[in-house]
Amino acid sequence: MRSALFLGCLLLFGTGLRAAEPAAPQWQVASPSGNLVATVRRSADGGAEYAVALNGRPVLDWSPLGLTLAWGDQSKPDAIQRADFASTVDFGAVARHQIADRYIMTTGKKRENSYAANALTVELRDVETGRQLELEFQLADDGVAFRYKLPRQSLLYSWVESEDTGFALGPDGTHWGQAYDPSNAWQPAYEAPWNNGQPIGTAVPAQTGPGWTIPALFRDEHGVWILLHESGLTRDYHASHLAPEAPGGTYRIAGPLASDGLGFGDVRPAMTTPAALPWRFMVISERLADIAESNRVFDLAPPSTAADTSWIKPGISSWSWLTDHDSSKSAPKLKAFVDLAAERGWPYSLVDANWDRIYPNEIEQLIAYADSKHVGLLFWYNSGGRHNAVTEGPRNVMDDRKLRRAAFARLEQLGVKGVKIDFFQSDKQDRIAQYLEILEDAAEFHLLVNFHGCTVPRGWQRTYPHLMAMEAVRGGEHYTFDSLPDFGQLSTTQNSVLPFTRNVIGSMDFTPVLFSKQARTRLTTNAHEAALGVVFESGIQHMADSPAGYAATSADYHRYLRDLPTVWDETRLLAGYPGREAVFARRSGSRWYIAGINGEGAAKTLALDLAFLGKAGSALELKDGAVRDRFYSGQRRLVPGKTRVSMAAFGGFIWVVDTAR
C-alpha cells in the first residue's frame, strides 16, 4: 500500500517569493476545488520529492525530483562546477499564486479553452555551489504539472548532465505504452505498436526499444486514470521519454540516446539562464472522458505567437502516396488527386516525397492546375541534414536556414499552402531547435506545417497555430508494408487505444479512411474506416485512399466526406475503453458528428447518453451491414437520453446530426 499523505492544505496565495517556511517540513498545494493535492518535502537523501492525492487517496507515492547542472570550461574538467539538485539541497523561498487563462485554438478537439490552477514555487539551493533551482507546481482540478526553472546566476552556458524526475505509480494497475523506437535509418519516429494494457512496472523487452514513450496511460488499482506527458518544450531542452524499467512501478524520465540522429548532436541539453525546462504533467481522473477530452498539453504551452491567423485554414487533403508510392514523381498522377480533392470539396492535395524529380516547369503547371480547381497544394521535404541518411528528396534544404527561407519564399510566391517535413530521427536538443525554427520561418511565409517521422506533440499547436498535425504514430501507411506485426491485425486494437493516448496530446496525421485493398489485409469494416475521420483528430486530415477507392462509396458517404470538419468546437467521449471501443461526439457549429469504432472481434451494442443534443432530430447514419465490403447508410431518429447503437466485429458507425434544424 502507498504511504498515507498529510492532506492539510496551505492555501495562502501571494504574488511573489517570500521568506522560507523553515517550520514546515513540507509544502502543499491543492487544485481550485481541493480534490487534488500535491505535497513537496525533503527526501531521505537530502533532495526533494513529491506525492499526489486525489480525494484523499494517494495517486502518486513519494517520487524523486531533481537534476544535476554543470557549467564552466569543458576543455578543463577540473574547472567545471556542478550543482546536484537531487541531493543535499537547502530549501529557500516559497511563492504561491493563482492562474486563470483563456485561449482559442485553430486546430484540435476544442476551440475555446479555459484553464484555472493553483501554483506553488519552492526554491532549492545546492549546498556546495549556492546555485539555485526553482521547482514550480500547478494543480488544476483534473491534473498536476511541474517544471524546473533556472534563474539567471551565470553568464556562462549551463548544461544538464542528468535528471532524476520520477513518477511512483505503485506496483498495481495497468499501463498502456509504446516502446521508444531504437535509432536506425528510419527511426525514432514513435511508430512502434501500442500495447493493449500490461501490468504497471513492466519493463520494455530488450529487443523492442530502449524505453517507453510518452504520453503514457495508466489505470491504478482504484480505477483512477492517469495520462503522463510533457508540454512547453523549447530550444532549452531535449524531448524526453521514460526509462525502460520501472521497478516497483516508479517510472523515470530519460533523454535521447547518443546514437540518435546518426550520432550527431549532444544528449546533454545546454542553455543560458534564465531558462525553464518542459512541464511534466499528469491528467488525473476517475473518468476516462477527462483524459480523452483533455487539452492540458495546450494549457501549459506558451501562448500563440501569431498576430494574424486569418490565413490558417485547416481542412481535408487528398494524398496519392499510400495507394501509389511513385505517384509523386508524376505530374499526371498528381493531377488525378487534385481532381479528387476538387470533386470531393476538399481544400488540399499533398505532393509527397521525390516531387523534385519532376521538371520544374511541370511543378509550376501542377500548382497552376490545382489553383484553377480551387485546391491548395502541400509539398513534402526531407528534414536532413546530417541527422538522417534518407535519400528521398528534396533534402539538405530544411536544415539550412538560408536555403529553407529561400524555399519557403518561393513556395509562397507560387501559391503553395503548406509543407510536410519528414525524417527527424532524433529527440536531441538540436532537432528540437530545428522544429521550432521551421515553424517560425513557415509562419513568416504563410505556410501550414505537418511534421512526419517526428517526435510527439508537446503543445506547439497552441504556440504556433499553423502547425496542423504531427505523425508520431504507426499509421495507415503501414497497410502497404510487408512487415511484422501485421498492420491489418494490429490496427483493429490499436485504433481504439490511440484516442486515449497519442491523439489526446495533439493532432495526429494517421492518414485514415482507407477502403481499397492493400498489401496487408484490412480487418476493419468500411464503417469503422469512415468513423476514423471523426474519432481521429487532425488539423489536416489526409484521406488515404485513391480516386477509385472513393468513387466506390455511396452518395451518403460522399456527402459525409465532403462536409467533414477538421476543427471542432467541442468534443465529448460517449463510451470507450482502450483496446475495446471508442465513441466520440464532436461538434462543429450546430452540427454534431457522433462516431464509434469497435476494436474487438465480436459484435457489440452500447447505450449512449445523447442528452447533450437537447432535442430529437434526424441523423445521417453510416453503418455496418450484412455484406462486409458494402457501404450502408440511411436516416435515423435520435432522441435525447439513452440510445442504443450496434457495431459489427471490428466495425463502426457515424451519425451526423444538425441541431439547427
Name residues whose C-beta falls within 8 Å of residue 329's C-beta, 6 or more positions apart in sequence: 354, 355, 357, 358
Tell me phi and psi for residue 551, to 5 degrees: -65, -25
DSSP SS3 for 439: helix
Q: Is the peptide bond before 394 cis (omega within 30 degrees of 0)?
A: yes
Measure the CA–CA gap between 513 and 566, rounded to whole angstroms.
14
Q: What is the DSSP letter of 399?
A: T
Measure the CA–CA gap between 406 and 78, rounded to whole angstroms.
45
Q: Count the Cβ atoms, other than its own, within 10 Å of residue 555.
A: 9
Active site residue 477: yes
DSSP SS3 for 116: strand
Per the CB < 8 A criterion, the answer to whether 144 and 284 are in contact is yes
Please identify which of the residues 477, 509, 537, 556 carries the catalytic annotation. Answer: 477
Can you list the positions of beta strands (E) in 6-56? Answer: 26-30, 36-42, 48-54
Can you list the positions of beta strands (E) in 394-486? Answer: 418-422, 448-451, 467-470
Instruction: Give burial (CB, 10 Å; 0-12/13-18/19+) of 390.
Output: middle
Name residues whose C-beta falls within 8 Å of residue 75's C-beta, 6 or more positions apart in sequence: none
Per the CB < 8 A criterion, the answer to whether 485 and 203 are in contact is no
Give how far Cα 377 sits from Cα of 157, 357, 415, 614, Å: 42, 17, 8, 40
Please identify which of the residues 164, 422, 529, 556 carries the catalytic annotation. Answer: 422
Per the CB < 8 A criterion, the answer to whether 140 and 116 are in contact is yes
Q: Count the Cβ atoms, other than its own, within 10 Å of residue 621.
A: 21
Active site residue 422: yes
Give how far Cα 348 sits from Cα of 72, 283, 562, 573, Å: 51, 35, 12, 29
Buried b (16+ CB within 10 A) or exposed e, 184-206: eeebbbbbbbbbbbeebbeebee
Smallest Cα–Cα separation from 454: which of 398, 497, 408?
398
Active site residues per annotation: 422, 477
